[in-house]
Structure 1
């Protein structure tokens, strides 16, 4: 016989805070559970068999509905099942009538827009906000956009995800998480109850293949570090602000977005430091970048456009687009991407420079995986990074460190 969960007391239920489904009914009310959401919200769920299928029935939020009240409701629902009555359908009809009367229904699309508006201030950048909107508009709204939050169930979620789960795994994975968050928001707001049909662990992970087994890791195409010295003179001859921004990105080993958003207010030429604010960093922490002599000289030679504070402004004064640096490489007939130069720097530093790993990782603004090591390396190791970046600039200035001419065929193979 299957092992039954222990019947919990009111105090034991009060102390349940770990996210997940906690069965509390014991032998008296089997299937009664307290659902604890990652957001901290808690609600009652009754797991029952209806027509040979396992169903989850919401019994209200906790502590508004007490343990005793949840047990009474669960026992009443089980009596209905024994009488061949579907308590979930009856409850849904009752709630629909109540919601219609009280105005407590909300369509998924309206809920998603409300969720985005409430949370987008905490998101890092405009691209992240746009990805939220675009993915929901493209895949979710056509199927559940006009549906009431309380009516969305597992078949609707699968109808959204299954067509793209293998072909667009990363998009589908992120989309699932976004739908889950919107539905959780609806639960807390009182527009739906019961378990979230978009949840992964213990639910969709039994129906869909694990993303890691489907997604193929694609590395950014990068220039071999031995070829950087042959490449840099060609880049310096290229005209335009995009070429200068790419040169700056290579010599600082920074991300394209950080470079394109750089302002003169962030740069201290006298101290040779570029301080990137937290809101523009992937890790959400400010990052100080030591500027080599070559970078300082390049910045001093740059023209400054009136009406904008960007270091590398677009022709009309705004920020360069994310394709500008890529276009520079395409015009040079190189099959690499701007982000790949961070890999070029990392491989040179690790294989040829002799600088410590933690210094290299700090230069790339990476978070150390080892928490003990990260705690030990609380400082930015800035003096050592000054030496690292100066060595990198010197290496990039060596004209015969490689042969870029034959690079395309190697990368294409």
Structure 2
């Protein structure tokens, strides 16, 4: 008999007693069940609508809150498949995971190309050279993107990477190592973002094999030939700033990037000191360079060429010399060395021809002290001793006996 009082307190529905259902449904029942909700057990339910549509729903507690997860239509997901999905979700939830977050993450997985762009955006803020950023992406465009650029970063496999690297692993060994390094950076990001569990790059080297690479040092001149190279480059008629910058680089034993971007505000004419800011140093530390009399003459000569712009050595206006200027000058005058090689020439001269202590020479080259204990206790930059060293280097280069 129906309760005539609609506002009467209804008896509280009690939780069923006994064992929880486990695999209570059958495939035949799933196909023929009338509209309603049916429990299969282990948080899995079959929902049958009046229209006849049938679907799987899992009622699960995730981090203290109840959620209903749709597992798909009966037409696409069988009873056994629904049970496997429900079990995996339940296990993940019991371990503190979030099946919903996993599902959202799966929908938002970027392609490898999109992931590479995000990694580049994150990394290039710490790079000094804009060219490095373009080179970084160009190598991926050429070798990686044709195969995996549009592939979800979670789906890239070691087989994909072998297809990319195998053709160039021995024929273009240096390029292959660079591509592998950059692909690894993108996939490390994917692991950190939990788009994938592991980096497939870890499995490649045993399969690709050893490249047996021979270490090739940058081409450098013997120190006794450096003065002749300065004289030869100084004969250039096409550029004035280039030869001046070259001689300044040799006299200061600096890197080309430090010289090329040198600004007038960094030069202390009275103290004869060039202070290179930390942002332009490889060591990320400010570096003071003592300037010998000849280096000061070069600065005075550079002033007469262009004193309006911020840079010491310019190609006109407010533009510094291009990165390739010095390489082209050396090649044109048949000097068999690269700009960085003159630091090696300086180092060999100091070791063979002088008694200056090793730590003074290393400080002149702005090399980092790798021993942590020694670095912690060394607070001086040995500046005055370096001034004597650089004056001796300038005198050696100017000595007529070395200008044969």
- TM-score, normalised on structure 2? 0.70
Aligned partner of 1:361 in structure 2 is: 362
| Residue of structure 2 aligned with 1:158, choices 162, 165, 175 | 162
**Does 2:120 correspond to 1:116?**
yes
Aligned partner of 1:8 in structure 2 is: none
Distance 1:109 1:148 in 2: 9
Could you give the per-residue CA deviations for residues 281-322 of structure 1, whole angstroms, max 9, x where no partner exists?
A: 112222111111110122112225255211001135412112
**Does 2:224 correspond to 1:221?**
no
Distance 2:232 2:129 in 1: 33
In structure 2, relative to structure 1, the CA distance for the partners of 1:349 and 1:109 (3 Å cut) is: same
| Residue of structure 2 aligned with 1:193, choices 191, 196, 212 | 196
SS at match of 1:217: coil
Could you give the per-residue CA deviations for residues 350-384 of structure 1, whole angstroms, max 9, x where no partner exists?
A: 10011111111111111234434333433211111
Shift in Å at residue 395 of structure 1?
Answer: 0.6
SS at match of 1:354: coil
| Residue of structure 1 aligned with 2:130, choices 122, 126, 130 | 126
Superposed, 1:121-270 pairs within 5 Å as 121-190=125-194, 192-199=195-202, 203-210=203-210, 214-239=212-237, 240-270=240-270
Higher relative contact order (CA 8 A, sep 6+): 1
Could you give the per-residue CA deviations for residues 210-262 of structure 1, whole angstroms, max 9, x where no partner exists?
A: 4xx53222222222112233443344443421111101000001111111111
Shift in Å at residue 333 of structure 1?
Answer: 2.4
RMSD: 2.8
Shift in Å at residue 120 of structure 1?
Answer: 1.4
Could you give the per-residue CA deviations for residues 187-211 of structure 1, whole angstroms, max 9, x where no partner exists?
A: 3334x22211123xxx32322334x
Q: Which runs of 5+ in 1 are unaligned?
A: 1-63, 66-79, 88-93, 404-413
Aligned partner of 1:350 in structure 2 is: 351
- Checking the alignment, whether the CA contact within 8 Å between 1:109 and 1:145 is kept in structure 2 is yes
SS at match of 1:346: helix
Could you give the per-residue CA deviations for residues 7-33 of structure 1, whole angstroms, max 9, x where no partner exists?
A: xxxxxxxxxxxxxxxxxxxxxxxxxxx
Aligned partner of 1:295 in structure 2 is: 295
Distance 2:284 2:174 in 1: 22
| Structure number with larger C-alpha Rg | 2
**Does 2:314 correspond to 1:278?**
no
Distance 1:384 1:206 in 2: 50
- Checking the alignment, whether the CA contact within 8 Å between 2:309 and 2:317 is kept in structure 1 is no
Distance 1:251 1:290 in 2: 10
Could you give the per-residue CA deviations for residues 53-97 of structure 1, whole angstroms, max 9, x where no partner exists?
A: xxxxxxxxxxx99xxxxxxxxxxxxxx9xx9xxx9xxxxxx99x9
**Does 2:311 correspond to 1:310?**
yes
Distance 1:112 1:232 in 2: 44
Superposed, 1:16-31 pairs within 5 Å as none
SS at match of 2:225: helix
Work out the number of aligned pairs and report it: 309
- Checking the alignment, whether the CA contact within 8 Å between 2:230 and 2:246 is kept in structure 1 is no
Q: Which runs of 5+ in 2 are unaligned?
A: 1-61, 64-80, 89-98
